[in-house]
Structure 1
Amino acid sequence: MQIKNNHSNYLQNTWIIGLIKLVLFGGCLYFIITKFQDQLFRFRETVWPDSFGMVLGLVGILMIINWYLEALRWKVSLQSFEPITIKKAWQIILSGLALNWVLPLTTGDLLARISQQQDKYQTTSAAMLNRGIMLCFTLILGIYGMSKVAMVYEVNGWFTLLLIFSYPIIRWLFKKSLDRFFTYFRNIDRTTLIRIIGLSLARYLVFVFQFYLLLFAFLPDLPSDLLLAGIGWVFLIRSALPLFFGGVGVREASGIVFFEPYVSDLQLIIIPIFLIWMINTVLPSLVGLVFVFQFRVNIAR
């Protein structure tokens, strides 16, 4: 009876999450189309930057470095209790990226990581540590981006209240995960922890730089601090909301919200945001799809 109830609750939660994602996707798509209006038919008139080919190539190289750093970080995270090779870590990371397309809230990534290790508890804790560190970096730059949005749209009072009340709400929603994270955090070897934090920071800086290169290529007149704030804002919204199709719609809509006061041609916002998604998510996911069929998923083991 308990198993049936758990299965029923899981299906209900999955259905609710799917409905939320569908509503978000539809709302963002409607928002983008409404904002574009007459601009929808001017794509061929877009002036492509002279350095576009070089920028695109550099961003592609950085994509490989980005996912290599993530594989290396995962290898380091497991070395104290269940070592794996960098090749195996790379396969796990890319297969998880592919599974994220069909499983809610990036649980595909977690499933790929846990399913390949014997010690499920330690592996889950290591995954939570990895996510927690990246979330900290995302919040730091994201709050800077939020402050810019608050000033432009004159909602500073609401922004201050949001910062005050956000921590207890996050703590309540993710209490179990956070407790496991802090327990693992206190027990981990300090040298290993420093390496994980260093690799996390390096990876975060790589994909911030990727995004910056593409935005700067299309929006060279905007100051660097504004571009960085916009990147922080887009990444924060992308991390905070349950999404369909790897974040298509939400990412572009959040970019419009941030950059619209500074840019008249919205295509110059949409194109770099779409490209960073294609390069950093779609292409690696296609590679990861090959590895998905090679893994024997056995969570209960």
Structure 2
Amino acid sequence: MQNTNETNPKTSILSEKLFSLFKTLLFVVIVWMLYKAFDQKQQNIDSLLLECQKAFVVKNLWKGLLLILLIFFNWGFEAKKWQQLALKVEEISLKEAFKGVLMGLSLGFITPANLGDYAGRMWKFKQQKRAESIGAILLGNGIQFYISLLFGTLSFGYFLITNNQIIAGINGITILVLILSLLLGFFAYLKRHLFYLFVLKIPYLKKFAHSVKILEYFSNEEVRKVFLWGLLRYFTISLQFVLVLLIFEVKLNIIDLWTISCLIFLVKTIVPAINFIGDLGIREFSAIYFFSFYQVNHAAIITATFVLWFINILFPVLVGSILVLKTKIR
């Protein structure tokens, strides 16, 4: 009698062909959206090139090399954070974690609210383990969100004081909301083991309860390790932003540059981007707003945010899209 558990060769070949077609379509979508981004920015290309020409001088060489080197630290710390989180699901190497992060980044910018990031990271797991990894991804994203919220809140307070802004009205409400959010986040950390029970009580979320049950298994020490990797990544991105602003000769002291970089990251974290093009627009808008309180070259600011987006997002996305093409069905 024929074994019904055996895989039909024709079905397997068809699945491989459909999967290859799917990967190719994803790659085409990524390239198309990349073209769309540059097409929308065409009117600013000339001024961008002009600012870049002025910045490419010998004295900025070491800053440029450090800026590029920090790309690998940025996503390396994120990969290490993801490897730590993934241990509760399936043990993966740092190399596999790095691939998962880049694939998630690549798929994330073509989906609303970065949802593709989940698919990219889960892709590296065996099929039966993918649902369990959602909780680990949520924890990692939550920790990174909290870090951005923490330094963004401190920076906003410093920004208001140094610019003689009254901490009342909308400013006072914003500070209050940020502080309450920090307290709520810390409470969620202390009571994370109850999150599974909370989800079970909500009819619309009950079917996802098994995906967040993994939160119960993270010890305080493990969460602190993840927090440390997230903190290192945040400092790396902040340093990159300060470096690129110095390269384009934004004449402010280091503390003010770092403060504004934290505020831009805060806005980017709170305001969800529809896709990676929206992400770039949020960076530009917030940069222009916060730098408007200082006497600086706005063209240089726009160029700096574009360059940081280019090296930190666009380049890794292209690498991630190639990894998507090379990934086999599991």
**Normalising by the residue count of structure 1, what TM-score does the alignment of the two structures yield?**
0.74
Amino acid at match of 2:257: L
Which of 193, 199, 202 is the equivalent residue of 2:229? 199
Q: What SS does the aligned partner of 1:84 have? A: coil
- How far apart, in 1, do the equivalents of 2:323 and 2:49 lie? 36
- How far apart, in 1, do the equivalents of 2:86 and 2:268 lie? 27
Which of 242, 247, 257 is the equivalent residue of 1:227? 257
- How far apart, in 1, do the equivalents of 2:59 and 2:105 lie? 30
- How far apart, in 2, do the equivalents of 1:182 and 1:142 lie? 28
Instruction: State the match for 1:160 in structure 2.
Output: 172
Quote the RMSD (CA, aligned, Å): 3.3
Q: How does 1:275-286 map to 2 (within 5 A)?
A: 275-286=307-318
Distance 1:271 1:163, change over 3 A: same
Q: What 5-or-longer segments of structure 2 have no aligned partner?
A: 1-39, 197-210
Q: Is the 8 A contact 2:88 2:214 kept in 1?
A: no
Larger Rg: 2
Displacement of 1:261 after TM fit? 2.2
Q: What SS does the aligned partner of 1:249 have? A: helix
Does 116-125 or 55-64 show the bigger shift? 116-125
Deviation per CA, 1:112-170: give whole Å up to 9, x if none.
Answer: 122433333431111111111111110122113333554548352122212334547x9
Instruction: State the match for 1:23 in structure 2.
Output: none
Distance 1:41 1:274, change over 3 A: closer
Amino acid at match of 1:260: S
Aligned residues: 258
- How far apart, in 2, do the equivalents of 1:223 and 1:125 lie? 41
Amino acid at match of 2:167: N
- How far apart, in 1, do the equivalents of 2:239 and 2:302 lie? 18
Displacement of 1:186 after TM fit? 5.2
- How far apart, in 1, do the equivalents of 2:108 and 2:131 lie? 21
Displacement of 1:59 after TM fit? 0.8
Displacement of 1:92 after TM fit? 1.0
Displacement of 1:189 after TM fit? 3.1
Deviation per CA, 1:152-201: give whole Å up to 9, x if none.
Answer: 48352122212334547x97xxx9xx835997555313443332222111
Instruction: State the match for 1:44 in structure 2.
Output: 50
Amino acid at match of 2:295: V
Q: What 5-or-longer segments of structure 1 have no aligned partner?
A: 1-28
- How far apart, in 1, do the equivalents of 2:159 and 2:287 lie? 11
Q: How does 1:42-81 map to 2 (within 5 A)?
A: 44=50, 47-48=54-55, 50-81=58-89
Are 1:242 and 2:272 counterparts?
A: yes
Displacement of 1:258 after TM fit? 0.8
- How far apart, in 1, do the equivalents of 2:245 and 2:159 lie? 18
Q: What SS does the aligned partner of 1:248 have? A: helix
- How far apart, in 1, do the equivalents of 2:149 and 2:252 lie? 23
Amino acid at match of 1:141: F
Q: Percent of counterpart pairs with the same letter?
A: 23
Which of 254, 262, 286 is the equivalent residue of 1:254? 286
- How far apart, in 1, do the equivalents of 2:294 and 2:167 lie? 19
- How far apart, in 2, do the equivalents of 1:165 and 1:236 lie? 13
